[in-house]
Amino acid sequence: MPFRLLVPLGLLCLLLPLHHGAPGPEGTAPDPAHYRERVKAMFYHAYNSYLENAFPYDELRPLTCDGHDTWGSFSLTLIDALDTLLILGNVSEFQRVVEVLQDNLDFDIDVNASVFETNIRAFQTPTGMPYGTVNLLHGVNPGETPVTCTAGIGTFIVEFATLSSLTGDSVFEEKARVALMRLWESRSDIGLVGNHIDVLTGKWVAQDAGIGAGVDSYFEYLVKGAILLQDKKLMTMFLEYNKAIRNYTRFDDWYLWVQMYKGTVSMPVFQSLEAYWPGLQSLIGDIDNAMKTFLNYYTVWKQFGGLPEFYNIPQGYTVDKREGYPLRPELIESAMYLYRATGDPTLLELGRDAVESIEKISKVECGFATIKDLRDHKLDNRMESFFLAETVKYLYLLFDPTNFIHNNGSTFDAVITPYGECILGAGGYIFNTEAHPIDPAALHCCRRLKEEQWEVEDLMREFYSLKRSRSRVQKTISSGPWEPPAGPGTFSSPENHSRAREKKPAKQRIPLLSCPSQPFTSKLALLGQVFLDSS
């Protein structure tokens, strides 16, 4: 899943007793402690190779031991690796890298960046759906194509709602919600969405419907946005999509691609990006179906030692020119969620197989290389940033049941603020689509504090407005008939007052990040819905 600049995402999952594997004969669960250390070593081999050979470029080229820019020329791999350092327990390196990035990172550069990959801006269209690419210095280029993939439109609510909560500026969340709603309104009569749409006209350009590339994180963010924001409408939207997906695309626990208006099969393939789906199913409690689909995908991994980008389901083999495996995390991600929910040792076996395969096939002197072809294990000269952000992180968390990320609410940090006490780090973290965790408690705290702050500000405005109005009345009463004073002190009707309140947020000047942020020693966290409005 693509990169998100604003750190963090997570999920809803019932935490059941875990089965702790131990070394033993073939068929028994792998030893978590052994593989946890193996995964940590994998991370530092890749991380140190990037720092020594590629920084400040976006990504490492592991075969030539140098670097290159890919998504925007802002040291992408280093940003993506940040919270993995915390999850591995390396707080000092996390602090060092934060200082390096603060001193050197600059987004005001003349670079065309993917809006989806960087999650920044470009929503000024007639439909409210964003362009696919934006220049970070100049905005949308005049000749920019208006055709954007569905995921590129619907994958903003987690980060943008977080940004609105932390800054007090609602415009970010509003833009993301409009984009979500426009996609919802554009679905077909049978309840499906296509793959690419024209953001100027709202017309579907690619009408293939499925759960994979070009669509995937739209569905993911409906679920995660619903959990993060306690938003029933977003969950209802996903559940309606889920019905249509099961009715038209599901066959024997595989998910095919179909024509969005007719439901007829257009591509009987499994894409590696679809492997996130069992994990998403686990978040809505559909464990049985999630495990069935996961086991289908796991058979493909066993066949090749990785997931090819495309797999022809009827033929049981790779698709021409789609035989590669760029070390994607999605199947490992699903294994982590399902293991937390079930404790099934089969899920640890996938983790073991992933470690063994990646180390055997992909490890080179300067990191880990993309597998160009799973049939002969030829390598490509690229290590994408998601390898450190997601693949290694999910592997480590799969084998580390006591990691703070898996906190079930038994421990937390209490932070005293000018507005009262806030609870942070109690669990329930939401992973964004690049596996960066967001603490929903922090959002709940900041949003609540902002609302209380706004209420106080409203009362103060009313009070001073009333004083100014009375003062003006006293000044004019001796010089003739009284007339309502103009300007800020004007007494208004309830209707006018309501309209004034609706415009209020645009005029507020609230300091950025005025909600107390966690110290580095405070923990992130994830997995599980723990904070409700009544808490």
Tokens 């007793």, located at residue: 17
As a whole number of angstroms, the distance between CA 252 and CA 270 comes to 12
DSSP output for 363-417: EETTEE-EEEETTTTEEES-B-THIIIIIHHHHHHHT-TTSGGG--SSS-EEEEE
Chain centre distance of CA 455: 31
Shortest CA distance to 310 belongs to which of 391, 226, 374?
374
Q: Which residues are annotated as a binding site for Ca(2+)?
A: 433
Q: Which residues are annotated as a binding site?
A: 433
Identify whether 117 is a catalytic site residue.
yes
Identify whether 309 is a catalytic site residue.
yes
Tokens (6 digits) for 184: 């919802």
Per annotation, catalytic residue among 58, 80, 83, 117: 117
H, E, C per residue of 317-332: EECCCCCCECCCCHHH
Note whether 277 and 256 are within 8 A (CB).
no
Helices (H), 54-118: 76-87, 91-104, 115-118
Shortest CA distance to 127 belongs to which of 74, 72, 185?
185
Classify burial at 467, counting beta carbons within 10 Å of its beta carbon; exposed 0-12, middle 13-18, buried 19 or more: exposed
As a whole number of angstroms, the distance between CA 517 and CA 359 comes to 38
For 363, phi then psi, to 5°, come to -70, 130
| 365, amino acid identity | E
Per annotation, catalytic residue among 58, 83, 159, 216: 216
As a whole number of angstroms, the distance between CA 119 and CA 7 comes to 11
Per annotation, catalytic residue among 83, 208, 330, 384: 330
Helices (H), 249-385: 277-283, 287-304, 330-342, 345-357
As a whole number of angstroms, the distance between CA 289 and CA 520 comes to 39
Shortest CA distance to 152 belongs to which of 185, 113, 190, 126?
113
Cis (ω within 30 of 0) for the bond into 56?
Answer: yes
Per annotation, catalytic residue among 309, 323, 349, 434: 309
| 394, amino acid identity | Y
Shortest CA distance to 331 belongs to which of 303, 362, 296, 383?
296
Q: Which residues are catalytic?
A: 117, 216, 309, 330
